[in-house]
Amino acid sequence: MSELPSGWARCTLQDFSEVRLGRQRSPKNHNGSNMRPYLRAANVGWQGLLLNDVKFMHFTEDEVDTYRLERGDIVLSEASGSAGEVGKPALWNDEIDDCCFQNTLIRVRTHAANPRFLLHYLRYEALRGAFAQDSRGVGIHHIGSARLAQWNIDLPPLAEQQRIVEALEDHLSRLDFVESSLRNVTARLSTLRDKITGIATTGGVVAESRVAAKIHEVGIDDGPLPLLPVGWRWSRLGEIAHVVGGVTKDSKKQNDPEFISVPYLRVANVQRGRLNLADVSMIRVAPKKAEQLLLRHGDVLLNEGGDRDKLGRGWIWEEQIPGCIHQNHVFRARVDQSILHPKLLAWHANGFGKRWCELNGKQSVNLASISLSKIKLLPVALPPPDIQQDLVSHIESRLSVADAALETVEAGLLRAAALRRAVLRRAFSGKLVEQDPADEPATVLLDRIRSTRPARAPRLQTRKPSTATKRESQAVQETLL
């Protein structure tokens, strides 16, 4: 264990802070006479609070006293399906009057630390994966208020905390500017890629004059169709490709001895203009189903559901994984390659198709989707077969320039992230600012806090506690001083 800087103290979070889990959400509190705003995990982002969608529920006056947020409180995500999101913190500055918090959040109310110092420390712990490593649970990762209360921290003197905050925020503001600038470049490169493929796949790089090519009406809103060069024509996806949905996972049949295990692609694997094959799941299906859905070189994969702007996104399959099939939320378009090059279809679907799917998809409460019957009606621009390979080469040449620039930007973002971690590491190891012998040591402050706290009652129970007593004890543990 490393030696502490002069004036610092090694302690736990509960030594100088109150750590409390939020109020349980219950249907009986959806309405009531004392409705109050409350924060939940969705209101906490990496850059701060997200207050555009704050919910309300009923709190008694005693509960308001217990769960009301005060300026300087820190709220952290208690759990997440993504381990890297556990412990994500944000600082409360009285943005909303009488606001409380739900049990998807943990509140840390400090008595001996600069709130901004503690915010940066907790964010550093979350960013470096310490909370994720200590989380519990299968599927949903929990840090828990009891574990958080016992979290170790090296605490500087209060005066040094302020100096650290000032120096740290100066460094971080510069990194924020660099990262923001690089992300803007990333967005512009993405727009450039869309323009390259969008213009080329509708004939924008062809010298021939452009005319309003017709497409037969099918009772759907195609929006304005671009003019096409002479010799090009419009068709519908279902007329030039065999389009099918994928397999639906049936948990009850996963142990069927006649089924075989095969890799299958999910929505997360099918990105716009690329496939992400870092995490490909396996599924058990009937051999006949595996044969029917087997992906072949040149198949175009298109997403059926997700966020509205993700509908129809996809890319071509190049047999990267033998025996692979696809999920029911991913369409497979097996295009007649004598009519259209698969890459031209994929680029067209990611550009024109994105806008068309947004127009013709349907929206449920949380997700958007487009049906198999609808996606078959997607208008597709068909160049003359003899120019298609040259067109593909032209697009790939232009995209390679944009991709090279994007690699440079992504490398810059990685360097910025590494610098951020290095600055934070120096800050919380006492190397970012100098120690001042005149500062009141953190141990003195901690002793003063301990002296003002009521003594804990002696533990009288000697027999094994009942189940009911265990539940009560667990509830008490959710409030730690």
Round to whole Å and give the CA distance between 182 and 406: 10
Question: What pLDDT was estimated at residue 172?
Answer: 96
CATH number of the structural domain spanning residue 338 = 3.90.220.20
The residue type found at 190 is S
**Which residues, given as ranges, of the chain have pLDDT below 70?**
1, 455-481
477 domain-assigned = no
CB-based contact 213:415 (threshold 8 Å): no
Round to whole Å and give the CA distance between 463 and 446: 34
- 77 forms beta bridges with 105
Round to whole Å and give the CA distance between 285 and 259: 5
Question: What pLDDT was estimated at residue 76?
Answer: 97
Question: What pLDDT was estimated at residue 112?
Answer: 80
Q: Domain check: are 146 and 21 in the same one?
A: yes
Residue keyed to tokens 């044969």: 291
Give the gyration radius of the chain's Cα atoms: 29
Residue keyed to tokens 């049906």: 371
Q: Domain check: are 404 and 423 in the same one?
A: yes
Q: Domain check: are 187 and 249 in the same one?
A: no
Instruction: Count Cβ atoms within 10 A of the Cβ of residue 81 and give its class: 0-12 exposed, 13-18 middle, 19 or more buried.
Output: exposed
CB-based contact 364:311 (threshold 8 Å): no
481 domain-assigned = no
Q: Which residues contact 319 (CB under 8 A, 6 or more apart)?
A: 295, 296, 297
**Number of Cβ atoms within 10 Å of the Cβ of 158:** 17
Round to whole Å and give the CA distance between 267 and 281: 11
2 domain-assigned = no
461 domain-assigned = no
The DSSP letter of residue 459 is -
Q: Exposure pattern of 409-437 as b/e (b: 16+ CB <10 Å)? A: beebeeebeebbeebbebbbebebbebee
Q: Domain check: are 269 and 416 in the same one?
A: no
Give the β-pairing of 74-77 and 89-91. antiparallel
Give the three-class secondary structure for 474. Answer: helix
Residue 188: C-alpha distances to residues 275, 347, 348, 354, 405 (Å):
21, 18, 19, 18, 11
Q: Domain check: are 119 and 179 in the same one?
A: no
392 domain-assigned = yes
Instruction: Count Cβ atoms within 10 A of the Cβ of residue 400 and give its class: 0-12 exposed, 13-18 middle, 19 or more buried.
Output: exposed
3 domain-assigned = no
Nearest CA to 199 out of 235, 227, 238 is that of 227
463 domain-assigned = no
Q: Domain check: are 273 and 307 in the same one?
A: yes
Q: Domain check: are 321 and 416 in the same one?
A: no
Q: Domain check: are 132 and 189 in the same one?
A: no
The model's pLDDT over 149-181, given as tens digits with 9 standing for 90+, comes to 999 999 999 999 999 999 999 999 999 999 999
Q: Domain check: are 56 and 124 in the same one?
A: yes
DSSP output for 249-305? P-GGGTT-TT-EEEEEE-GGGEETTEE--SS-EEEEE-HHHHHHH---TTPEEEE-E
Q: Domain check: are 409 and 331 in the same one?
A: no
By residue range, what is the domain housing residue 298? Answer: 207-382
The residue type found at 354 is K
DSSP output for 356-370? HHHHH-EE-SS-EE-
Q: What is the pTM of this model?
A: 0.77
Q: Domain check: are 372 and 230 in the same one?
A: yes
1 domain-assigned = no
Helices (H), 306-441: 342-350, 352-360, 372-375, 385-427
Residue 108: C-alpha distances to residues 143, 279, 369, 480 (Å):
13, 36, 40, 10
The model's pLDDT over 68-116, given as tens digits with 9 standing for 90+, comes to 999 999 999 998 888 788 999 999 999 999 999 999 999 999 988 999 9
Question: What pLDDT was estimated at residue 211?
Answer: 87
How many domains does the chain divide into? 3
Give the three-class secondary structure for 49. Answer: strand
The model's pLDDT over 235-279, given as tens digits with 9 standing for 90+, comes to 999 999 999 999 988 777 777 788 999 999 999 999 999 999 999
Give the three-class secondary structure for 351. Answer: coil
Q: Domain check: are 329 and 214 in the same one?
A: yes
Round to whole Å and give the CA distance between 34 and 444: 42
First to last CA, the chain: 26
